[in-house]
Amino acid sequence: MNRLLLVLSLLAFAMSGSLGALYWQSLETRRDLTTRATALDGQLNASRELASSFQKQAITAGTQLDIVKTQLASTETRATQLTADLTATRTDLTTTRTTLVAREQAERTLRDELTSLRRDLADTRAATIPAAQAEAYRSTIAELERQLATAKNGAALPTAAGASTAVFSSRAGRSSSMIVSVGPENAFVVLNYGSARGAQLGQRFALRSGPDLLASVVISDVRSQFSIAQVEPDSLRGVLHKGDLAILTP
């Protein structure tokens, strides 16, 4: 009986020791789990903060991207405008160069014609022609000088009937009428046929070069020694030159 009690006591003591060991082991496990849970909570909070920071950065990046897109669109618009302005500037420059070349050519032509007209006037003076014809030469020289000054100032050259761009011939006293000057673009001619020889407004002439009919003209201005005749555009069949014959027609 005593031995049985002793065995039971030993068993109870052993079980008590085991339970104590299990209790302490459970306490250690709980403490470890608590520590790990606290660490995990810290990591979770850190992850949340990091995610929040990333989200803010994403919002900021999106805003900056919108700003960059706006700036890019503005830059593209400006580039398009600059391209258009550059094209317009190049066109204007080309036009200006063309205009300058035309003005230089017109100025050279006027200088040459003015020199030729002065030479003709000197020859005419030497031949002692009537004062009215000499005055006509002076008027033409003055008109050419005015055109030359106009060309230098950059203005368009006149093309009216009174603006002669060709020189008079000093050959006077021909038995037949002839062209002594041709206006710009064959718009009019000056004939050595004036009121002293019976010239009248409205008289018609046929202009010929040899057997060829060049044009028909009508007198629009009569002076003592010469007349100005307008070329009928539809009748023009060739280029008019000084020295071509002018035949009075009915």
pLDDT of residue 156: 46
pLDDT of residue 231: 95
pLDDT of residue 172: 38
Best CA proximity match to 211, nearest among 182, 175, 242, 238: 238
Compute how many other C-beta atoms are within 10 angstroms of the C-beta atom of residue 46. 10
pLDDT of residue 74: 82
Q: What is the mean pLDDT of each run of 10 residues along the chain (250 residues)?
A: 76 78 82 84 85 83 84 84 84 79 73 66 52 63 64 49 37 61 90 92 93 94 92 93 91
Compute how many other C-beta atoms are within 10 angstroms of the C-beta atom of residue 138. 12
Query: Dihedrals φ, ψ of 159, to 5°?
Result: -125, 20
pLDDT of residue 149: 64
Best CA proximity match to 218, nearest among 157, 161, 158, 136: 161
Domain boundaries, the chain: 20-250
* CA 26 – CA 19 distance, rounded (Å): 10
Best CA proximity match to 217, nearest among 197, 240, 242, 243: 240
* CA 61 – CA 65 distance, rounded (Å): 6
pLDDT of residue 157: 44
CB 192 within 8 A of CB 236: no
Entry pTM: 0.34
Q: What type of residue sits at position 69? A: K
